[in-house]
A and B are shown apart, each in its own frame.
Chain A
Amino acid sequence: MEKMGVPAIPMCTQAYTELAKLTAARDGMPHLRQVFTPHPVGGKTDAELAAYLVNPDPVSGIQIMKEIVDDLTKPLTADETKTGLQTMAAGPATFGPDTVDNLQEIFMNNGMTDYMPIVIPTEEKVQAMLKATSHKPDEVLRTPVQGVGYTSARWGYTVRQVAVNAVMAGCRPEYFPVVLAMASLGPLGLFGSTTSSSTAIVINGPIRDKLNMNYTLGALSPFAQANATIGRSWTLMGKNLTNGGIPGDTYQGGQGNQLDYNNCLIAEDEKNSPWPPFHVQLGFKPEESVVSIFGGPDLRQGHGARGAGAEIAMFDQQISFMCQSLVGGSGALAILDPLVAKRLVDQGYDTKEKLSEWVFKNTQRTVKDFKESFLASFHLYPLALEGREPYASWYKLPDDAMIPFFVSAKQINFVVCGGQANAFFQIANMNHGRSASIDKWM
């Protein structure tokens, strides 16, 4: 509004002081007049909120309503009328020469690591990484963009800059095409939402065996270099390539997320799965290697099936049961041990799509539950007001009407991996976002 010539006062709570100031600066008004209330606003009584307005702004110390009136009437200072283009620097191009220990400290203290030791990215190592792709080092994967929006959507990066992060994560050069394919899918790791949402990365195709990825016993644990380091690279890229992961600035996740260390990297066990692999579901050829990115809040384990002792264990019902406690706006990525997948076939689900459809139709809740869910009031109700379906129709139904938990069966996806030690599965509360060919980055 200020750019349109209208004086504007953004108000937010004290918890977001740094973010609000940095956002204003990045949007071209470093001296924007902002007002802060105590935190939080949600959950306060009417009287408490009225008191906020006549008490001091916890940041400036000035009574809030007086501050607002002053901010709307005080003449502008010279700083507040500055125009022009301000260039930004990402810091020095190199660090050192120094000892390995000192460089580890420098990288850690400057927020460029995940606080675990890195492989020091020397020029030699970066060059070795770059030899694993036919793409030129200065090829731009993402162009820096001016304007509003998440910081992660504004920074740019090249093939060479991705290579530096791949080295740091401990990737071997032959992993580099996978990391490049991931980088082509930005925004990258450490997205920064207050929900602490994280990522799951699914790898399909021949690359899994070429890189000795683990998709059998302990597939989700640290038992293979490719699984460990490729997953780690997503977070390092988010921190370094797009300036993510700065608590209070570009990262606001309330509790954070353990998944951010490895981003739940999953190589699908295509050999032992009774169904076509995930990338083939998307329309890729079986012989193509593909990376897919999922995003959402968490990962939880489903201990077996419903109906213990029954002739056919009812894994479909257990999956549906677990889905009812997910955050509805995010989808479900069920990670099934091959034993579970085979038993689901025994139940009659000869395709993943049939299973998705069953879970979609049989996972329901009341309109009242939906309306009272965390996301509904501020995220989905505005969409309903715009006439966006199905939310617009759901908001017109009586409170006791039953509605699907998910918006569509396509929000429910399945991948297979595990050592067949027990018929267990896990569910990531995540939506499929983007997928990319790895082959084109070789």
Chain B
Amino acid sequence: MNRRQLLSLLGISPALLATPAAEADRKKKEAPSSAGEGKLTAVSPKGTPPPIQLYSMAPRASSLDGKTIYVVDATSFLGSATLLHKMQAWFQQNMPSVKTVFRTKAGIYGADDPKLWAEIKANAYACIMAIGH
């Protein structure tokens, strides 16, 4: 059994019994070499973000009178369809000239639904989308 194994069995770290000379040698070996005394320069671990293409928002009309608005349940999370039906009722009561159309987006919450987007583009002035939870 060597000295390291013996110390280990006694529950003592060999480093604690190291001589001052051995300790100084250990510290020298571990001394940083990148920059300056006792200082290091670290490299960034970050990946590369993509650039962002900015888009203009759609022009607004000055009034909703006579307009059609689609209300879209985009995720089918619990309660979202009910919330949108309540919104349709609000328009009916408070802005009766606004026509609302309810639709559920096809597919799971992250899936695209180009057919529905085309329908909205063709038929509506605007849409309101319930996205989640």
A residues lining the B interface (CB < 8 Å): 1-13, 15-16, 20, 25-33, 37, 39-44, 46, 49-50, 52-54, 65, 68-69, 72-76, 80-100, 103, 106-107, 112, 120-124, 126, 142, 144-146, 149, 154-158, 161, 164-165, 168, 194, 236, 240-243, 377-379, 381-383, 385-386
Chain B residues positioned under 8 Å from A28 (CB to CB): 52-55
B4–chain A nearest beta-carbon distance, Å: 18
Q: Is the CB of A10 within 8 A of B76?
A: no
12 new A-B contacts, CB < 8 A, other than A85-B52, A378-B109, are A9-B126, A11-B129, A11-B131, A15-B133, A28-B55, A42-B133, A52-B83, A65-B94, A93-B44, A98-B39, A98-B42, A155-B50
Q: Sorted from nearest, which 10 A-B pairs have the closest CB atoms?
A: A42-B78, A144-B50, A241-B47, A90-B46, A97-B35, A157-B47, A97-B39, A41-B79, A88-B49, A7-B126
Q: Is the CB of A76 within 8 A of B133?
A: no
Q: Is the CB of A6 within 8 A of B124?
A: yes
B59–chain A nearest beta-carbon distance, Å: 7
Selecting from B5-13, B14-22, B60-68, the interface stretch reads B60-68
B114–chain A nearest beta-carbon distance, Å: 10
B residues lining the A interface (CB < 8 Å): 32-36, 38-64, 69, 75-80, 82-83, 86-87, 89-90, 94-95, 104-111, 117, 120-121, 124-133
Q: Is the CB of A242 within 8 A of B36?
A: no
Greatest chain A CB density within 10 A among B47, B82, B126 is at: B47
Q: Is the CB of B64 within 8 A of A73?
A: yes
Q: What are 26 A-to-B residue pairs whose CB atoms are below 8 Å?
A: A1-B117, A1-B120, A3-B55, A4-B121, A7-B126, A12-B130, A25-B52, A27-B52, A39-B133, A44-B79, A65-B94, A82-B56, A83-B56, A84-B53, A94-B42, A95-B42, A97-B41, A98-B42, A107-B45, A122-B33, A122-B34, A123-B43, A142-B47, A156-B50, A161-B45, A161-B47
Given contacts A65-B87, A76-B60, A161-B47, contact A100 B77 (CB under 8 A): no
Chain B residues positioned under 8 Å from A12 (CB to CB): 130-133
CA distance A73 to B58 in the complex (A): 11
Q: Is the CB of B120 within 8 A of A6?
A: yes
CB-nearest residue of chain B to A378: B76
Chain B residues positioned under 8 Å from A89 (CB to CB): 49
Chain B residues positioned under 8 Å from A124 (CB to CB): 33-34
Chain A residues positioned under 8 Å from B64 (CB to CB): 69, 72-73
Question: B51's contact among A73, A146, A168, A381, by CB below 8 Å, is which?
Answer: A146
CA distance A154 to B80 in the complex (A): 29
Chain B residues positioned under 8 Å from A93 (CB to CB): 43-44
Given contacts A49-B86, A90-B47, contact A6 B126 (CB under 8 A): yes
Q: Is the CB of A41 within 8 A of B77?
A: yes
Question: A156's contact among B43, B47, B117, by CB below 8 Å, is which?
Answer: B47
B67–chain A nearest beta-carbon distance, Å: 8
Question: B41's contact among A25, A87, A94, by CB below 8 Å, is which?
Answer: A94
B55–chain A nearest beta-carbon distance, Å: 4
Q: Is the CB of A96 within 8 A of B79?
A: no
CA distance A107 to B76 in the complex (A): 40
